Structure 1
């Protein structure tokens, strides 16, 4: 049974974590479902934006389900759980569509790492953020010490990862990690997403690639994607393809 749902309503898609009985903690099946939804969205040209939210009032996501990873051997824990989680979260972070995370409640560990994969975040006033991994004898494994280090100042990240301190919504907004604090964060996210209707989808996509290249989010792929898009629209590319098909020497116009 799926615990990560995808709903597409016109130009806006919603990914919903639906495992509230376990505080929406991730299982291997949920990782696979999230990855599949990301693949679907990447091939859905009608979708202009994505909202990521969860069911329940106690937690946006409490991270990884400890019963799923605790029995793993050290090698399987590193090889599969950590690396596969990284791959899936990277897929979300690098979607060509703009993404908004709705934090209606606490985001801990992998839940905070998941929220960090989205382009912006909206948070309820009573929600908090935490990296409690050290308290169960592990370290952040799904980019909590990497991607989060680009989004949160180093001393604050150390407060969380080393000392176990929680960050409330007001401080998260002051730090720039959260775009808006709202009593109804889903409504606020939908209002923000409404701005995409006035923008060029291609311009938004390219702007996201440019920003990702600048901040170090897979810069090699972002730069090559931008280059491919630029050359793909050229007369030289059209001539090269035509010449290949005709088995003749190309005559590039340089435009």
Structure 2
């Protein structure tokens, strides 16, 4: 039970407050360890666990509401270190015991199915919500997430030399001035997981950093699944089986995806090059091609592209209500594209948008029969080359999506999405999807 004295203590000096947090969380962990494992708890046990966890989260929120800027400055050495969300949470666990889960606790959680976890990632969501909400710490974290990844920097010399990078779920090839990113999870319809996010950010970084590239093109590869064998599929959205099994991470997937490579599609990659007056970001236009469908995260991705081409029989959807989670930054971007009423129909009611219907023109720039797609793609990449395109897209993106508004949205997203991950309806839904055969799962994509 959180007392008034505890709340006063965590709002006092930082040293005293961090001690109070550590002591309170240790007591909560002892209470949880005395209970059966989450999957074996009775309703009474679950009520006891929730009460203990809720009290501790109240203290964390009060602590961060007072000290988040001091905490962030300590973790980043006065904002001289650029820590990404996963690394920031890791060092916070070490420097401020009890503030966020430890590495060992996360390893234990990720070895469990989603339904059998304690939900410790919610504590990361509380922490990152406060960091992103802060006008002092939040912009610095966004900048850290826009910097190129170490993996991309390691691969860059070879990619510049050969024009090719073969990643687990993405093939990247430079032809002329075009970087062609092909999503290649052939057996899962390009369903997204932590690996795909890592590969996509690496590929986007390489395309942005390679001086020979002027335009990026993202397209689904040919599938091997019987229902779509030999056909290109853009994306089936989040991998629900992986989510059910506990393999979708808040920081490595849900937040890294939005703050990392998708944000880089909009803002570019941030470097230390340039003088005090030149922009530090490297931006390039992006084109997306949908041959069959773009569901969930695939549809979200289209909202960050400068130009979208689709086959005449393709469709888009954001089945957020069906899956139970928040569709990334789509709630933020979709309204600007299609208006409030259509956004509610798409997100809340699961409306599909077919390429040939009039409303598709708000999300898709060109629609062609399959036989005409290749020529349309090549015409588009030719049009989007040139320095004038870069300057104008920068100004369009700035007018459409201010960094400040995006930061405020992502602050709330960090908490709300962490709560959705552990909500009973999401756990029930993904369990049902996971129990279905792959054929039954694909029925919702047909």
TM-score (norm 2): 0.45
Task: Please name the residue that 1:89 is paired with.
Answer: 262
Deviation per residue, 1:68-110 (Å, 9 max, x gap): 223449xx85444321121221122333111110000111100
Q: Of residues 288, 294, 299 in structure 2, which corresponds to 1:107?
A: 294
Q: Of residues 212, 216, 230 in structure 1, which corresponds to 2:397?
A: 212
Deviation per residue, 1:180-214 (Å, 9 max, x gap): 101133431221111245xxx33221111110111
**TM-aligned CA deviation for residue 19 of structure 1:** 0.9
**TM-aligned CA deviation for residue 58 of structure 1:** 6.3
Q: d(CA) in 2 for partners of 1:67 and 1:84?
A: 20
Q: Of residues 184, 187, 205 in structure 2, which corresponds to 1:18?
A: 184
Q: d(CA) in 1 for partners of 2:287 and 2:232?
A: 20
Q: Which runs of 5+ in 2 are unaligned?
A: 1-166, 223-230, 269-282, 407-446
Task: Please name the residue that 2:273 is paired with.
Answer: none
Q: d(CA) in 1 for partners of 2:212 and 2:403?
A: 25
**TM-aligned CA deviation for residue 172 of structure 1:** 6.0
Runs of 4+ in 1 over 6 A off after TM superposition: none
**TM-aligned CA deviation for residue 216 of structure 1:** 1.2
CA distance 1:164–1:187, shift in 2 (3 Å): same
Task: Please name the residue that 1:124 is paired with.
Answer: 311
Task: Please name the residue that 1:160 is paired with.
Answer: 346
2:330 is paired with a residue of what secondary structure?
coil
CA distance 1:70–1:94, shift in 2 (3 Å): farther
1:156 is paired with a residue of what secondary structure?
helix
**TM-aligned CA deviation for residue 220 of structure 1:** 9.3
Q: d(CA) in 2 for partners of 1:94 and 1:172?
A: 30
Q: Which runs of 5+ in 1 are unaligned?
A: 222-255
Q: Is the 8 A contact 1:109 1:144 kept in 2?
A: no
Question: Is 1:3 aligned to residue 176 of structure 2?
Answer: no
1:23 is paired with a residue of what secondary structure?
coil
Q: Which protein is richer in helix relative to its size?
A: 2
TM-score (norm 1): 0.77
Task: Please name the residue that 1:232 is paired with.
Answer: none
